[in-house]
Amino acid sequence: MPTPWSRAPLMLLRRPVVALAVAAAALLVALPAAAAPLFLASAGNATLRQLTDASCSWQSGLQLSAAVPMSPTPEAPDDPTGAELVDRRVDTVREQTRDLPHLSEPVVTLSTGAAVSPAADPDQSVVTLVARDGFAGHVDVVEGGDGPGVWLPDRFARTQGLSAGDRVTLFGEDGGTSTRVAAVFRDLRSVPEQPYWCSLRETIHGTPLGNAPVYPVALAPRDEVLSVAENGDAGMRIERAVDTEGLTTVGGRPTAEGLDRLRATTVASPEPGIFDDSAPYGAAFTSSLGDMVNRSELVLAALTGTVVPLAAAGTLAGLVIAAAAGAFWADRRRAELTVLSARGVGPVALGGKAALETAGAVVLGAVAGWAGAHGLVAAVGPSPLVTPGATRASLVAAAVALVAALAAVAGVAGFRAGRLHDTRPARHRRWARVPWEVLPLGAAVACWFALDSDVQVRAAEAVGTVARIPPRLIVAPVLLAIGLAMLGARLVRWVLTRLRTRALTMNRPAAFLALRRVSAAPLVASVLVGAVAVPVALAGFGATVTGSVDRTMHAESQLIVGADAVLTLEERAPVPPELAGRAGVVTRYVDARLGDTTVHVLGVDPETFAAAAFWDPALPGPALTELLDRVAEPGGAAVAGVAAEDAGSVLTIRDGHRELTLTAVAQLPGKQAGYPLVLVDRALLEELAPTAQSQLWARGDPDEIVAAASAAGLPVSAVARAEDVQASGVYAGITYTFDFLAAVSLLTGVVIVVGLLLYLDARSRARRSASVLLRRMGVGAAAHWRALLLEVGGLLLAGFAAGTALAAVVIALTAADYDLDPGTAPGTLVAVPWPVVAVLAVATALTAVLASAAAQRAASAARPSEVLRDTR
């Protein structure tokens, strides 16, 4: 004989709205829970990708450097030399790394010094002769390009009066080799850097601030280089780049371990005769993949402390909706529950019936939640790659979420059913008076003091540290916002309860009706206001912290470098026309004295420097343009890093002295750690130090700047980029944290919309009746819709305003902590996220309009005869 329980599994098919609400609730529970492990894995993989992309792929993979003796040594007369040694080393490396994934084919580079003859300028005739597998495909050929011979850089060829086809002699340490000039190519120092050449960066550009001479790089086939090095040594590198396609923290680990084994057999325990470490032929092994994997896992660990609480908060918000869906189910099943409850069926059995009925929808919702989490992380996560372990963890999380959602639906349904009869209302009034908001507020204070506030995370392995958002900067503000929202909701309820008992006189029926409806249900209205306020506050807070941290870090890195790119020039040169209006020539002198203090001096053109250098209007002190006006005055100067009265006012460079009128400021562009920086007119510095280093400062994309400088033929010897200061994945965790917070805020917003729809649906019967009755009283559909718009829009607007205020409070309390590098000026620069506020405002208004329009449409469709007969 069928019973309400045996019939339950298929009964929800006849209630699609309830099924949809339950499935949506389960989705909202499962999605954040499943997303957390996937997001963490994705962030770890993205960090690894970012690290490998930011570094030279040859060095992050495998780079084995060693000298190549060209003739046997007395200590090892039988060891292979020259070309044979090169081949055997390559074979050994290839053999030992054969099974390692994510590595490219080996590339061999040989190099040696050579003097080119004939040369128009014999003092400038030395080149670094390099043979690198496949080099011809990675240079811009200006002339020639066929046949054997040496490839010369264009600047060198021009200086020495050489062209393709000329015969030259390449002199090594002892003796020379005659060859032809096979090609002339664009000097590698004057073209944007290509990944192919990155491991030879120091050979090509030299080291920044280094004193070693940097010779032009000429290219030649391998045998040509070995021939020039005949009576000396050649340098050799075997490199295998990391192939980042599909590279994950888990997948990269075996490769890193395999490379460690190779290191053990080559450098730590060398292959006899091949990688002998006896000087001067010792081998050096470089691979940063292991460190990068460790570092990525460190970022992952740094994220866990904030992502997991956020995911838990999102899941809890979803569970609230699941509970609301349970109540919704109980309301829609009220007649049936009344029948069964009156006959003594208890809340457990009725909750069980709810579970049986909703299980299918919950399973569907949880599966959709897991799939949604997977899809979202793949589509908009830090990386589309996740690890198998993360997928398993997300499945487990989704399963737990499924059970929790079902328990929430069944629990609340059973609770509501159990309260249909035989209740004790007085007890519930007492519960309502308990100040529950004290709990999150107290927890916020406790978390602020108890949780870790360190902005750095360090791992057991020596891989340095990574910056992170300290957990307390997330958890405490979230709890604070929730607590304050609850407090605000209580206040709203108090006000509405007072309004309910007050006689209202209003001429406009829509306003009267809206106010009466809102004040008739103060609890629901106040919960809605509080529930809207929380995601608005979280989104505003998250966007502000994201923007502020980014703005602060950007300002710090820009101030250190001075501009987006600073190109060190070998000689004075004008600003390329392409960079006009955003670049300026600056001279720098690093060994000056201001009174008794050693200082760096920057000579600038007061007219153009403001357009070339970084400055943020929020920085303390006078604006840069104002400072430059003072610098333009005779003897005018600005100093950062020392108080003017402590430094004296006489600038001394070598034997020259100049009395300055100083303006002391907290920060100047180009001010690096250590020495104070003095900003003076360039003409003054050039007068005191004619040999001061020339630099080109420019704003914009560094690659474009370098390309423009190259096209203009500027003699660039080194490039400093502001973006490099934040590289190396140090700050990756921070970006990802706020990505996740933004996603959780969005999810919470969806939760609120679903909650609003449930709120509207729950009142649809009363609204339908009211609409019909009002029509009979002469209040038209338009006025009723306006009333609905005022009711829904008023509540949402109040929630939006409360959320914005909450965000402002939370930001004011925590802003000082947004500077993740407090040792570096300028300190926190708050970025108010006006676009986010505008989007939230529009979303709120749109939600109010759409929801009220949908409710009005349903109410308008009601037929008076049916409504008036429907007495329940």
Partner 1 sequence: MTPADHALSCSRVSHSYPVDDAPVRALADVSLTASRGAVTVLAGPSGSGKSTLLRILGCLDRPDEGSVEVEGVVTTALSTRRRRALRRARIGYVFQDPADNLLGYLTVAEHVALGARLRGGDGTGGGSAAVLEALGVADRAGHRPAQLSGGEQQRVALAFAAAGEPPVLLADEPSAQLDRAATGLVVGALRELAARGHAVVVTTHDPEVLAVADEVIDLVDGERRERA
Q: What six digits make up the tokens of 394?
A: 């997300």
Distance CA 161, CA 558 (A): 42
Distance CA 121, CA 135 (A): 27
φ, ψ of residue 22 to 5 degrees: the values are -65, -45
Distance CA 143, CA 619 (A): 51
Name the residue nearer to partner 1 (CB basis): 1 or 777.
Answer: 1
Orientation of helix 289-332 relative to helix 471-500, angle to 10°: 20
Name the residue nearer to partner 1 (CB basis): 501 or 505.
Answer: 501
Name the residue nearer to partner 1 (CB basis): 348 or 438.
Answer: 348
Count of CB atoms situated within 10 Å of the CB of 494: 12
- Kindly state the smallest distance separating residue 418's Cβ from partner 1, in Å: 8
- Kindly state the smallest distance separating residue 795's Cβ from partner 1, in Å: 23
Q: Give the residue carrying structure tokens 């609890």.
A: 523
Residue 307 and residue 39 in contact, taking contact as beta carbons nearer than 8 Å: yes
- Kindly state the smallest distance separating residue 871's Cβ from partner 1, in Å: 8
Name the residue nearer to partner 1 (CB basis): 417 or 466.
Answer: 417
- Kindly state the smallest distance separating residue 765's Cβ from partner 1, in Å: 14
Residue 636 and residue 606 in contact, taking contact as beta carbons nearer than 8 Å: no
Q: Residue 127 carries which side chain, given as an amino acid letter?
A: V
Name the residue nearer to partner 1 (CB basis): 98 or 872.
Answer: 872
Count of CB atoms situated within 10 Å of the CB of 282: 14
- Kindly state the smallest distance separating residue 494's Cβ from partner 1, in Å: 13
Name the residue nearer to partner 1 (CB basis): 339 or 666.
Answer: 339
- Kindly state the smallest distance separating residue 336's Cβ from partner 1, in Å: 6
Name the residue nearer to partner 1 (CB basis): 155 or 419.
Answer: 419
Name the residue nearer to partner 1 (CB basis): 98 or 869.
Answer: 869
Name the residue nearer to partner 1 (CB basis): 98 or 429.
Answer: 429
Name the residue nearer to partner 1 (CB basis): 339 or 711.
Answer: 339
Tell me the C-alpha to C-alpha distance, in Å, between residue 313 and each of 154, 254, 400, 709: 62, 36, 15, 51
Residue 640 and residue 665 in contact, taking contact as beta carbons nearer than 8 Å: yes
Name the residue nearer to partner 1 (CB basis): 211 or 501.
Answer: 501
Name the residue nearer to partner 1 (CB basis): 432 or 438.
Answer: 432
Name the residue nearer to partner 1 (CB basis): 73 or 338.
Answer: 338
DSSP one-letter string for 511-541: HHHHHHHHHHSHHHHHHHHHHHHHHHHHHHH
The residues, any chain, with a CB within 8 Å of residue 123's CB and separated by 6 or more, are: none
- Kindly state the smallest distance separating residue 514's Cβ from partner 1, in Å: 21
Instruction: Please report how many Cα atoms fall inside a 13 Å half-sphere around the Cα of residue 182, on the Cβ side.
Output: 15
Name the residue nearer to partner 1 (CB basis): 1 or 503.
Answer: 1
- Kindly state the smallest distance separating residue 773's Cβ from partner 1, in Å: 21
Name the residue nearer to partner 1 (CB basis): 329 or 448.
Answer: 329
Q: Where are the alpha helices (DSSP H) in 246-346?
A: 249-263, 289-332, 334-342
The three-point CA angle 456-460-463 to 5° equals 65
Tell me the C-alpha to C-alpha distance, in Å, between residue 75 and each of 78, 278, 279: 9, 9, 10
- Kindly state the smallest distance separating residue 415's Cβ from partner 1, in Å: 12
Q: Give the residue carrying structure tokens 């679903």.
A: 754
- Kindly state the smallest distance separating residue 315's Cβ from partner 1, in Å: 32
Residue 81 and residue 234 in contact, taking contact as beta carbons nearer than 8 Å: no
Q: Give the residue carrying structure tokens 């050489």.
A: 162
Name the residue nearer to partner 1 (CB basis): 242 or 330.
Answer: 330
- Kindly state the smallest distance separating residue 521's Cβ from partner 1, in Å: 14
Residue 751 and residue 548 in contact, taking contact as beta carbons nearer than 8 Å: no
φ, ψ of residue 233 to 5 degrees: the values are -130, 155
- Kindly state the smallest distance separating residue 761's Cβ from partner 1, in Å: 20
Distance CA 157, CA 152 (A): 6
- Kindly state the smallest distance separating residue 354's Cβ from partner 1, in Å: 15
Q: Residue 571 carries which side chain, given as an amino acid letter?
A: E
Q: What six digits make up the tokens of 135?
A: 């080099």
> Reduced to 3 states, what is the DSSP secondary structure of residue 692?
coil
Distance CA 701, CA 719 (A): 13
φ, ψ of residue 711 to 5 degrees: the values are -60, -30
User: What does the binding site for partner 1 look like in residue numbers (CB under 8 A)?
Assistant: 1-4, 7, 11, 335-336, 338-339, 342-346, 421-422, 424-425, 501, 872
Name the residue nearer to partner 1 (CB basis): 344 or 778.
Answer: 344
- Kindly state the smallest distance separating residue 350's Cβ from partner 1, in Å: 11
The secondary structure element, H or E, covering residue 476 is: helix 471-500
Name the residue nearer to partner 1 (CB basis): 335 or 462.
Answer: 335
Q: SS3 letters for 401-421?
A: HHHHHHHHHHHHHHHHHHCCC
Tell me the C-alpha to C-alpha distance, in Å, between residue 144 and each of 140, 163, 223, 365: 11, 8, 20, 67
Burial of 342 (0-12, 13-18, 19+ CB in 10 A): exposed
- Kindly state the smallest distance separating residue 431's Cβ from partner 1, in Å: 15
Distance CA 166, CA 188 (A): 21
- Kindly state the smallest distance separating residue 548's Cβ from partner 1, in Å: 47
- Kindly state the smallest distance separating residue 424's Cβ from partner 1, in Å: 7
Count of CB atoms situated within 10 Å of the CB of 127: 24
Residue 678 and residue 598 in contact, taking contact as beta carbons nearer than 8 Å: no
Distance CA 545, CA 295 (A): 24
- Kindly state the smallest distance separating residue 342's Cβ from partner 1, in Å: 5
Burial of 245 (0-12, 13-18, 19+ CB in 10 A): exposed
